[in-house]
Amino acid sequence: MRTVRHSIRTVRHGTWSRALVAVLAAAAMAIGGAVAPATAAPGGRAAGAAPGQAVPPAPKPEPIKVAELPLPPVAPSTSAGSCTPAVNPHGTGCIGKATSMQSGDFLPDGHHVLATVGFTGAPAAPDPAAVYTGEQLIIVKTDGSTFPNGDAWKCVTCGVPDANAVGRGSAMDYPQAFKDGRRALAGTNIIDCGPYQLTSSACTPARVHIYPIRWNVTADGSGAGGSIRELRLHPDNVHLGFNSATVTNGRLNQYGYFARLKFDPAPKTGTPLAPRYDLVKVTRLFDPAPSKQPVAVEQRHPGRLKINPQTVSVGELRGFSGTGDEVSYIGYPDESSNIDVFAANLRTGKVRRLTSNPEYTDPIAISPDDGWTVAMDTRGSDRQMFLAAMRAIPPVTDMITTSAVSSTRNNGDRRFFQPYLIDRYGDRGAYQGQQINAAGDGGPGAINDPNWNGRADPRWSPDGTSIVYWQALAVPPACGGANPLPCETSTEPGGRTARMMIAHLTSRKPLKPRHVAVASDTVPWGTPYVPGSATPARPYPPQGHYTLVGKRSGSAAVTITGNADQTAISTVSVAYRNYSDDGAHILNGTESVTTTNPSPTLNKLDWYSDLVQTGQDHGTKKTGPGGFHLTIDVLTNIFQATGTLTTTIDGRTYRQPANGT
């Protein structure tokens, strides 16, 4: 257990944060390009539209120009001193070929973007260039201009005196800008240049302070504070969203939180006893009432289950809408095995489904006017269609499968994401968004080279006319050797395997600056956090036999079986008889899944499926004679299975990936 908890504290985004979709609030109920026609939203209703809401026609494709942004030069090796004046004549550092890079927010002027990079090859002190080492926050020019020293980038945190960074967190991921232009959020730190703009020559290392962010989790305020990850700054620049992982009943679990940032120049309790930002007025974005779960027992009919897609089920908080009214998150699926992004109004709890394509979506950003979403999505890759191509299956077995299903979207560090632009009303009919980087020849190094994987998070410019995102090249063992994907030689300067891209939406008019009012500290549908209180388990329907009634026709007989000590669901079995929620897809057949967890992060599924769908689409979802048996760890995402699970929709067949790919 100590090893798992250590991993929760220290493992970085690139390794497993997407795997925490596996422990979505939603999913954890058991814890106590061209797109195929099958991707149309069930019944034709837009993903982001409420029932009965008028939906405008799908937008036409718009012109998009994609370019690459400059980065520091690449050191020929990681050896000390390899970043010589010949490599960087300015003496301002080098990054590695496999740099730990992550692009971030635009600064408020719209001409600069934050990024985190890993510097390497610096000479030893007292050489002034010795400060360009390790993970640091930089600013990158987006308009082709340079800083006074001739670089198109500037390191903000290199050389900050230790006295100005007491208690700082080592990670600098998910860099985000405050609207004052003087501060930035990176990792669990706030970087502050006092009265100076971060871009200014007056913002020198001696003037920069790095303040840690602390979440108090003890009744007396003592200790180092709780573990927080995937921080997202609210547009009001006063509040913060974050996630915190834990182990509940032997399985990995996670909750999202909303809190106010409060600067304390001289704290008297807790560590570090140094200037810091405390998280106060903390709300866990979760209602523990059994009736408030996405799958629950009907109170008036104890023998029936109900599924409520309007239930807020924040599994992993992903950010906020541009206006700040909504929190975005990965939540419990609307359709079985279909991992999507949702948004919930912070005041009312009204839920909006942002995506519905059956492939996997995770990193997203909502435009400043809330009118558009840019999503990193596996759509078009067919990566998860063997699981999710059959639409309108109610998310019943997902009570125990989502952890494993979400983990199949990667092959280790090989992502299948590409950036898509989707309007507010979401996927509908033939409209499945517009691939932002589609205009390329697909060859090595092209903007749409499939071996260059999109990563988290994309970001909008303040005026809504540009989007910044970053990509990483697939490298061994995710390519080459036993893997059928051939490795590609990087065409980037110095053989770099990460790059930062900017997409200009050339036909759009700049949005006017919008004032975002300070949000309320109270989230009515959440639960105020009490320091020192225990993390709750997630309620789930107790063991038993239930009926799920189709909204339009038929029913499903559901059997839930608990584990030996009744702390979690072990098996969900369903038999459908003319079942339909939308009147367009009619489901018959059976499906049964059993799950075990040899460790909190390792999932083993025994899956048996024999489903037939008629109506708008004709298809089957079937396992082989011996079933489908998947073993996958949320920390590594390496696909390993025996048996088969195959889905065929309207004559098109989708099969599972090969093991290890």
What is the residue-wise DSSP string for 62-96?
A: --EEEEEPP-PPBPSSSSTT-S-TTT-TT----B-
Q: Is residue 76, in this structure, part of any structural domain at all?
A: no
The token pair at 47 is: 């993903």
Q: Is residue 558, in this structure, part of any structural domain at all?
A: yes
Weakest mean pLDDT among 30-39, 508-517, 535-544? 30-39
Whether the pLDDT of residue 309 is over 70: the answer is yes
Burial of 212 (0-12, 13-18, 19+ CB in 10 A): buried
Q: Residue 157: what are its φ and ψ, rounded to 5°?
A: -100, -10
| Whole-structure pTM value | 0.93
Could you say which DSSP state residue 236 is in?
T
Tokens 């995506």 correspond to what residue? 355
Task: With cut-offs at 50, 70 and 90, classify the pLDDT of residue 49.
Answer: low
Weakest mean pLDDT among 78-92, 153-167, 582-596, 626-640? 626-640
pLDDT tens-digit profile of 513-558?
Answer: 989 999 999 999 999 999 999 998 889 999 999 999 999 999 999 9
Percent of the chain whose pLDDT exceeds 90: 83
Weakest mean pLDDT among 256-260, 313-317, 481-485? 481-485
Weakest mean pLDDT among 40-44, 437-441, 518-522, 585-589? 40-44
Looking at residue 566, its pLDDT comes to: 86
Single-letter amino acid code for the residue at 258: F
Looking at residue 353, its pLDDT comes to: 94
Spatial contact of 267 and 273, defined as CB atoms under 8 Å apart: yes
Rounded-to-integer distance, Cα 375 and Cα 14, Å:
17
Task: With cut-offs at 50, 70 and 90, classify the pLDDT of residue 411.
Answer: confident
In terms of residue numbers, what domain contains 649? 544-654
Arithmetic mean of pLDDT, 563-570:
90
Whether the pLDDT of residue 35 is over 80: the answer is no
Task: With cut-offs at 50, 70 and 90, classify the pLDDT of residue 600.
Answer: confident
Other CB atoms within 10 Å distance of the CB of residue 210: 25
Looking at residue 8, its pLDDT comes to: 37
Looking at residue 178, its pLDDT comes to: 98
Q: Is residue 424, in this structure, part of any structural domain at all?
A: no
DSSP E strands, 416-482: 418-423, 434-435, 452-454, 459-460, 466-473
Rounded-to-integer distance, Cα 592 and Cα 594, Å:
7
Q: Is residue 351, in this structure, part of any structural domain at all?
A: no
Q: Residue 575: what are its φ and ψ, rounded to 5°?
A: -125, 120
Position with higher pLDDT, 80 vs 27: 80
Rounded-to-integer distance, Cα 584 and Cα 558, Å:
22
Spatial contact of 543 and 560, defined as CB atoms under 8 Å apart: yes
Task: With cut-offs at 50, 70 and 90, classify the pLDDT of residue 22.
Answer: very low
- Three-state secondary structure call for residue 634: coil
Percent of the chain whose pLDDT exceeds 70: 92
Whether the pLDDT of residue 36 is over 50: the answer is no
Task: With cut-offs at 50, 70 and 90, classify the pLDDT of residue 72.
Answer: very high
Rounded-to-integer distance, Cα 553 and Cα 288, Å:
31
Q: Is residue 320, in this structure, part of any structural domain at all?
A: no
Report the mean per-residue pLDDT for the chain. 91
Q: Is residue 17, in this structure, part of any structural domain at all?
A: no
Task: With cut-offs at 50, 70 and 90, classify the pLDDT of residue 246.
Answer: confident
Looking at residue 50, its pLDDT comes to: 60
Q: Is residue 27, in this structure, part of any structural domain at all?
A: no
Arithmetic mean of pLDDT, 146-157:
98
According to DSSP, the residues that pair with 604 across neighbouring strands are 596, 631
Looking at residue 34, its pLDDT comes to: 34
Give how many domains the chain has, as a whole number: 1
Looking at residue 484, its pLDDT comes to: 82
Rounded-to-integer distance, Cα 78 and Cα 26, Å:
43
Arithmetic mean of pLDDT, 328-333:
95
Arithmetic mean of pLDDT, 52-68:
92
Rounded-to-integer distance, Cα 285 and Cα 217, Å:
16
Whether the pLDDT of residue 357 is over 80: the answer is yes
Arithmetic mean of pLDDT, 269-283:
98
Whether the pLDDT of residue 28 is over 70: the answer is no
| Helix and strand element counts for the chain (H, E) | 4, 36
Task: With cut-offs at 50, 70 and 90, classify the pLDDT of residue 12.
Answer: very low
CA 64 to chain centre: 24
Q: Is residue 598, in this structure, part of any structural domain at all?
A: yes
Q: Which of 647, 641, 644 is nearest to 660 (CA)?
A: 641
pLDDT tens-digit profile of 176-216?
Answer: 999 999 999 999 999 999 999 999 999 999 999 999 999 99
Weakest mean pLDDT among 31-40, 188-197, 379-388? 31-40
Whether the pLDDT of residue 18 is over 50: the answer is no
What distance, in Å, lies between the first and last C-alpha atoms of the chain? 29
